[in-house]
A and B are shown apart, each in its own frame.
Chain A
């Protein structure tokens, strides 16, 4: 096994058909034919993956669904003795192996933020860990950055292989696929025949060009001191946050935002405990039982969002920024708020103050 394959462009469907017989496959596809938006959907024969632009929604939900059932519970009354009630609990989780085909380096990098929190701390989140361990990524060498992309600003880049199992390079006429992990290697032969030398050379050229690209100008690493320094500069935060509408779209499209809420949803004697996405931009997020809310306005909420990604997280996790530079929060923001600008000006003005 060479660990490499070539998928002719017009055989991509056939290759994915073969792959999807072995394993559940997710591909970026149009949520509705004829629209711009792309999301990761379970692959079904006949579906056309959209590989020429970044998806609107990241593949976050493949590993961390917007809602998942943590457990199911039921109270069972004894008809002969109504005072006796049995309690039944089912906390089983069904996880199937799955393959994400057509992610981008930023999408995959997003899961590193999750990993630190959900699997590497004193408490391991079994639900996340199981699904994460069963998910493989075939990642595209990225060539379609736009003005909102800034992966290089956060220490990644369009040819960042970290976290991927297969490396997919678009070349003339198709895709050159190569294995980056042992798990990925098992699936290469399914996807196509070995590439020719010419195809391999073309792929190397694309990869080298991608590796040279600097996507995003500002350097956003090591922003924690400037954030701390200006935490109480309310005029700065007010000027940055005035436009914000306070919706949660930035957090829901974000590959690294991992905050969730847990609720018991039930009726009569049966119910479920659900975990679902939450957003730090919502008022309820920090609402306390007393009615007090320590983050009463969008200023405190937005400042927390920036601080979490660029200060609190790196301070806690060896300098790692909780942002993968995909630019989705900028692109999907109804008022085009640019988080790069907020962090960059934080640094510039902090320097000016010093």
Chain B
């Protein structure tokens, strides 16, 4: 079912390509469960472009962070492929004036969920994976021992199971038909609610245990499209020096909570931080808590309206709800 969508994506991109600098999309990675970003510059590269539930990466960060993408002909737009969640990062970047809406051409793709390869491997065992495809509500993987079928619910990324915005909120062209959201946003914070039911001591214990595994490789930070400080992150500044080189939980705790607080009311819950973590720490959950507060107190959801001003980026003397 994704062959058609890929075909349609390639055709749509081909039609727009002459007017664009580059189109950022996905291509096949090192095995059938992995995709990798691709920068399409000419029609000869179009056959690399793919769309499937393995296209996990949120590509919008490249528009801000990659010097090569930014240093192109300013008279032409940059094309970018986005899922529903990714499009919200674009909106947030537009709001914060990192990119201009009229500088980008958005290929929006309604998404039924992306596959978390680690969940697949856990259900395995799989050796020598030859192919993987999603058919309706199943994932079919062929490996050296034959075919294996998994229920999609068992292998989708955590963020996809609580997705309220599967359709791109901004787009210049839509690839495929809009899909029905799994949940309404008010009902998407079930995991946060379960955490809230625990005592403060238990919650602290949970995060200490989880964050103790952190390597401080900063994959979570760098994969975040809205972590825009890049080489100026306070986790690494030397003057002043906020974090030591110690590997204790307190350093890791401090980093992750600074990271989360810098994203309060900005995070669009694309889940890239959690996906990028080699230690599988559920770091998006911290940001979900902050977003739940933002939603309850300020009725604000990040990355939905390019014209809106994020509540923590403004000052309103008549603020209600606080």
Using a CB–CB cutoff of 8 Å, the interface residues on chain A facing chain B are 31-32, 34-37, 39, 52-53, 56-57, 66-67, 144, 146-148, 238-239, 242-243, 245-249, 251-253, 261, 263, 265, 274, 276, 279, 282-284, 287, 297, 330, 332, 334-338
Q: Which residues on B are within 8 Å of A, measured CB to CB? A: 29-31, 34-39, 57, 61-62, 65-69, 118-119, 121-122, 125, 127-129, 210, 213, 215-219, 221-223, 230-231, 236, 238, 244-247, 272, 275-276, 278-280
A-B contact pairs, 19 of them (CB 8 A): A36-B121, A52-B125, A56-B279, A66-B247, A146-B128, A148-B30, A242-B37, A243-B36, A245-B61, A246-B65, A247-B276, A249-B219, A251-B217, A265-B244, A274-B244, A274-B245, A330-B30, A334-B219, A336-B29
Among B125, B216, B244, B245: residue with most chain A CB under 10 A: B245
Find out whether the CB atom of A338 lies under 8 angstroms from the CB atom of B29.
Answer: yes
List A contacts of B57 (CB < 8 A).
Answer: 334-335
Total A-B residue pairs with C-beta atoms closer than 8 Å? 129
Asked if B215 and A249 sit within 8 Å, CB to CB, the answer is yes
- CB distance B279 to A144 under 8 Å? no
> Most chain-B CB neighbours within 10 Å: which of A147, A332, A334?
A334
Q: Are A248 and B217 in contact (CB under 8 A)?
A: yes
Which residues of A have CB within 8 Å of B62? 242
A284 to B238, CA, bound (A): 9
Determine whether the beta carbon of B245 is less than 8 Å from that of A67: yes
Which 8 A/B pairs are nearest by Cβ-Cβ distance? A283-B231, A334-B276, A147-B31, A247-B222, A36-B118, A336-B29, A245-B222, A247-B219
Contact A336 B66 (CB under 8 A): no
A283 contacts which chain B residues (CB < 8 A)?
Answer: 230-231, 236
Known pairs A35-B122, A247-B218; A263 contacts B245 (CB<8 A): yes
Indicate if the CB atoms of A147 and B129 lie closer than 8 Å. Answer: yes
Closest CB of chain B to A250's CB: distance in Å?
Answer: 9
Residue of A nearest to B273 (CB): A334
Max chain B CB contacts within 10 Å: which of A34, A246, A265, A337? A246
Give 20 A-B pairs besides A31-B213, A283-B231 with Cβ atoms closer than 8 angstroms. Answer: A36-B121, A37-B280, A53-B121, A57-B215, A66-B215, A67-B246, A147-B128, A238-B68, A242-B62, A242-B66, A243-B38, A245-B276, A248-B218, A248-B219, A252-B278, A330-B30, A334-B222, A335-B37, A336-B29, A338-B30
Closest to A334 in B: B276
